[in-house]
Amino acid sequence: MAIKVHGNPISAPTRRVLLCLAEKDVEYEYVHIDLFTGQHKKEPFISINPFGQVPGFEDGDLNLFESRAITKYIAHAYADKGIPLLSEDPKKMGIISVWLEVEAQRFEAAGQKLNIEIVIHPLIGQTTDEAKVEQLQAQLASVLDVYEARLAQSKYLAGDSYTLADLHHVPVINNLMQTKIKTLFDERPHVSAWCTDLLARPAWQKVLAWLNSQ
């Protein structure tokens, strides 16, 4: 098999890549990286990602890292498989790019940090910083206000179709929905409907089934 994903089930970026492969219906081999023994900071992993963070990705002789670069590669290289996640049209792609950046810069800065504080820290025996949670919660609320206005205009962030811009949010939304942060999504009706739609997709259900088998 040509494609290998080097990752860990706990990692939202690893899950993002697996979700993209599921949506594109592309087969892969999963290579487990043990974060507790620091495999991500040692060879051979750091030859794939010199920053020492999962996931890493191989497709034949091509090595990639950074989950959002990997998903863009998969969407581009396997354009003919599964559902389209990007667009060939420069204007449509421009809109998709805007919401890809919003996720990477604005949603990530609040949502993924909340995920780390509330979900990941307890899992790895670290304490949650409640003052930080409060500040991040306010930050996420103001990001979601913009999402609510946007999703009142179109079913998905970049228009009427599900794209990579929506997909990139799923692993973090899935985790936050199991915490008190769920309220922030639930109290905004269009955001809430969008989350329900994203989490119900068969590709994400496939990733969840795999996670439960680990």
Which positions touch a copy of itself (CB under 8 A)? 50-51, 59, 62, 64-66, 68-70, 72-73, 76-77, 90-91, 93-95, 97-98, 100-102, 104-106, 146, 149-150
Least spacing, CB of residue 149 vs a copy of itself, in Å:
6
| Preceding omega of 84 cis (within 30 degrees of 0) | no
Say if residues 115 and 162 touch (Cβ distance below 8 Å).
no
- For a copy of itself, the closer CB: 79 or 208: 79
Least spacing, CB of residue 182 vs a copy of itself, in Å:
24
Least spacing, CB of residue 67 vs a copy of itself, in Å:
8
Least spacing, CB of residue 9 vs a copy of itself, in Å:
22
- Residue 57 to residue 44: CA distance in whole angstroms: 12
- For a copy of itself, the closer CB: 50 or 125: 50
- For a copy of itself, the closer CB: 71 or 201: 71
- For a copy of itself, the closer CB: 105 or 135: 105
